Amino acid sequence: MGKKVLVVDDEPHIIEAIQRILTQKGFQVIGACNGEEGLRKAKQLLPDLIILDILMPVMDGTTMAQSLQEDFLTKKIPVIFLTCLVREEEIRRLYPSGRKYQFLAKPFTPEQLIEVVDKVLGGK
């Protein structure tokens, strides 16, 4: 089985689309519908990559990303922020630590998704 990717988004069709695209490329994709569920799955499954929506109910993506950073087991898992409303500058303001996050704008094409995933995982 390929690398594990956790997709956290409150829109099921987004999770399904990403799952369909990445599964064809050999990835194992796990979905979560909010940040709280995503954080629990991240700690349990230790995925190779997390694709994380920012605006979600229960726990938003920025809060989940901060929680990931504070946990020894999850702090090195790369995160791609999936967003249509929040700009990169706002994320950098929230995370002055200098951690480099990648962003993928909604809507996205399969090619854009694969490109950013390959970039983050080093083409592995």
pLDDT tens per residue, range 15-32: 999 999 999 999 999 999
Residue 97 has pLDDT above 70, yes or no: no
Position 94 scores a pLDDT of: 56
d(CA 42, CA 117): 17
Q: Which residues contact 98 (CB under 8 A, 6 or more apart)?
A: none
Residues facing residue 100 across a β-bridge: none
Collapsed DSSP state (helix, strand, coil) of residue 104: strand
Q: What is the pTM of this model?
A: 0.88
Position 21 scores a pLDDT of: 97
The domain limits of the chain are: 4-118
- Look at the domain 4-118 and name its fold: Rossmann fold (3.40.50)
* 100/26: higher pLDDT: 26
pLDDT in tens, 50-87: 999 988 888 888 899 999 999 999 999 999 998 776 55
Q: Is the dihedral of CA 112, 119, 91, 67 positive or negative?
A: positive
Distances (CA, A) of 94 to 9, 22, 88, 99, 116: 20, 29, 10, 11, 22
* 123/72: higher pLDDT: 72
Mean pLDDT of the region 106-117 = 92
> Sorting pLDDT into bands at 50, 70 and 90, what band is 104?
confident
